[in-house]
Structure 1
């Protein structure tokens, strides 16, 4: 099954969240792979490499990288601009083809996006269009900081307008500067966005700690056991 990990902004913690979810699914006995279809601002798939480091997984072979990281661009910008500066154009259907091939090989594919929902991939298409093309459930990552209510609710609204199932919210406590703001903002997001399942994600250094991996496992069980028990079987 394919899942997309998106965020309310760039630098919000999607890479860590993707790795944490991978650990959670692994604890459920699933064969998991992560994918970063578009990497910008790098000479190699940095985020994918970080997934492997955080989860303790081995690096991808060159053959597998063609599927897990089909597009890598050097310029640190939105995918459309980064690709254009290298005289290239990103093909959403090619990404879909790579993701579906991974889906045939693994139980769970976690696709990490680039930036937020309206980041352009081509002149006409955005990250939201890629999610719509894949038509897969989404995990939304947001930051525990001032301003998060507006950013998160707008992202939730955009996903719901496209008929996309929001599996859960990953609330990144790394950004928390005030416990009251963090706590009350999350309550507002849950109430106004009608979000039931939330994973609190603390700051992580090195590999993902066992307690966070276990929290991710329970988070996934709480989401899927009532509605999609076959995913956990």
Structure 2
């Protein structure tokens, strides 16, 4: 059983799309794969990110989606999980999320857990996603992008990960939105340099620019040795 945690450098880095693409890649390779969403905000019913995964994978929602196993916490207000939970009169119990993860791990060969925002998002007032990642030590797949500000956010995330001794399994560079080829090429070199600086020997996989509704073919073999 292999479990990976997918986090973005911030909100809207493309982690939902990347998670769905990785799941589709593994499914096409006949891997018994499942995705999980750590928590969902700004939504009612089945997690909209889980539904996006299934659409990209080309499958209908599973029973574990319908019964809430793949995302046990769904909150109506679009905010940080700790605040969204408070507004809905709840508090996140990480043990509930862990129970869902263990259930999925027992039924599938590979589990991809999509996070919420960046790695230092508060889950409760005094417990962040970074704390969770430090405890669980899931191999981390970090999603970054070509938008302005991504270098700063990415390097800060790498430094935080190194300080907490998080195992980074790979970096995914999302070309969208590619407003400058010069910035794109430079950013990739910066990220490769700083990965080495912080002691990470892991691949960088690129997701090319795409149009809404498209699912580009991406070779994720550097991340998954099948």
User: Post-superposition shift, 1:16?
Assistant: 0.4
User: Post-superposition shift, 1:55?
Assistant: 0.8
User: Post-superposition shift, 1:118?
Assistant: 1.1
Which has a greater percent of helix?
1
Give the counterpart of 1:219 among 196, 211, 222: 222
Local SS of the residue matching 1:129? helix
Local SS of the residue matching 1:66? coil
Counterpart residue number, 2:99: 97
Question: How many residues of Structure 1 are paired with residues of Structure 2 in the alignment?
Answer: 219
Aligned-residue CA RMSD (Å) = 1.7
Question: Gaps (5+ residues) in structure 2?
Answer: none
Counterpart residue number, 1:47: 49
Counterpart residue number, 2:62: 60
User: Post-superposition shift, 1:148?
Assistant: 1.7
Match runs of 1:189-228 below 5 Å = 189-194=191-196, 196-202=202-208, 203-206=210-213, 208-209=215-216, 211-212=217-218, 215-216=219-220, 218-221=221-224, 224=225
Q: If the length of structure 1 is used for normalisation, what is the TM-score?
A: 0.88
| 2:172–2:206 CA contact under 8 A, matched in 1 | yes
Q: If the length of structure 2 is used for normalisation, what is the TM-score?
A: 0.90
Counterpart residue number, 1:13: 14
Question: Gaps (5+ residues) in structure 1?
Answer: 225-231
| 1:24–1:220 CA contact under 8 A, matched in 2 | no
Match runs of 1:124-135 below 5 Å = 124-135=126-137
Local SS of the residue matching 1:38? coil
Counterparts of 1:101 and 1:163 in 2: how far apart (Å)?
A: 27
